[in-house]
Structure 1
């Protein structure tokens, strides 16, 4: 089973990806992880990618696709895999489709986890992190016993800069601009399934399993 997870920041893609991976025994592949691994191991592809990263530029699609191809040929991918954070553009999606075809593989489903924008803003802006031990809280869903103080170590809870409202709204705008064309692309190919991302983690996962039957 080959799956792609789509959804705005804060919809819970990562969490659902972990659950899908466990349930169906397929690895969750993140391009960020592959990139870091190739760079760390100083492979040919890693060196090429690092040259762009060092200049603060995006790593070109063909390098990313080559890394992907290398990764999906590994033993743990023989039953399939889930992609999270890739493809990001229609050009990447087309290149990925071609690469799968070349390897005799086929994309099964693209799961779009859908959560209303105001709910995403509430989820992300309510997040608080302990600056000492890194524990994560939420002022509404998982508040600390004492306001602003970490239950675990007594450290101070802070709001990360990328969780501030204006930054969150900006991240959502960027997401919409870049991902909307991708959503239409997969919708047209008949692969897209929208999953309601509201409710408890387990409830959402039940919906995901329904779709994957």
Structure 2
């Protein structure tokens, strides 16, 4: 006689007979697994919790060689910190979406869009705005003078961002010919279309900057 491989051993009751079916069993297991999640949070878990963004951050921003101590919302952009908290309004707010380049500043010498950069990201680094580009005696930077010489601006709104981006373009080694200048300055829009004059200004400044 072939043995019944699925026969229940003697003395063992069925789940139905014990009042516990499959659905009840799985539900009980899930509840049991969730119990530890309801317990107290460990010290390590508390330490790993993200900071409360509603609390202001105490920051020290170095702008044009000068330190500024600020208490800022964690979501404050560098652009808003410069304009609204420090009073350096030379950096312009254009599209506020990182598409026009009007808000360009230098962060440790590298051009960045300050509308897309959190102020907290600039702590411990050197920020240069258009106000800090001229010499201590007020002598214009070669790029500033070149923009004046070539009338490389009309309304002037985009000019601070254009000048700072142009300085970085030269320092990066991306100003070797007009085509390259246009390529690496393409992120800075001039609605007055002074592009030929801007290219000429960059070429002049490059020679004077010794790059």
TM-score range, shorter chain: under 0.3
Q: TM-score, normalised by structure 1?
A: 0.18
- Bigger Rg, which one: 2
The structure showing larger relative contact order (alpha-carbon pairs under 8 Å, at least 6 residues apart) is 1
